[in-house]
Amino acid sequence: EAQVTQNPRYLITVTGKKLTVTCSQNMNHEYMSWYRQDPGLGLRQIYYSMNVEVTDKGDVPEGYKVSRKEKRNFPLILESPSPNQTSLYFCASSLFRQGHTDTQYFGPGTRLTVL
């Protein structure tokens, strides 16, 4: 089954404790992206990647890191989480052909609480 998986689905942590949210897709998609969803603000893009070893900042990259060492995986790293990073996070992937992304497939979400 074609899917995007994220782990963990729920996480409660404390300020400053490094954490990683994993994302994996099995569709051989070139493009992967991380979003955060907050009430009243909709979806905001954090980072995206066009292919292996190619990453770029989205609209709200501060406090986050990513890496793309393999095509299928795109982990989101919070080196020193703060309470304002409490949010619902989504990973997404899509084909990237002829310079364009297509329909995105989203993971189930990770609800992060930073105390």
**Can you give the binding site for other proteins, defined by CB under 8 A?**
4, 33, 35, 40-43, 45, 48, 90, 92, 96, 99-101, 103-109
Tokens of 94: 């899509």
Query: 56 or 79: whose CB is closer to other proteins?
Result: 56
What's the rounded Cα separation, in Å, for the pair 88 and 94? 20
Under a CB-based contact definition with an 8 Å cutoff, are residues 32 and 54 in contact?
Answer: no
C-beta of 45: minimal distance to other proteins in Å?
7
Query: 78 or 90: whose CB is closer to other proteins?
Result: 90
Residue 73 DSSP label = B
Query: 8 or 16: whose CB is closer to other proteins?
Result: 8
Query: 38 or 79: whose CB is closer to other proteins?
Result: 38
Return the residue matching tokens 């703060």. 82
C-beta of 17: minimal distance to other proteins in Å?
25
C-beta of 42: minimal distance to other proteins in Å?
3
What's the rounded Cα separation, in Å, for the pair 15 and 84? 10
Return the residue matching tokens 């992304």. 101
Torsion of Cα atoms, 28 then 29 then 30 then 31, to 10°: -150
C-beta of 103: minimal distance to other proteins in Å?
5
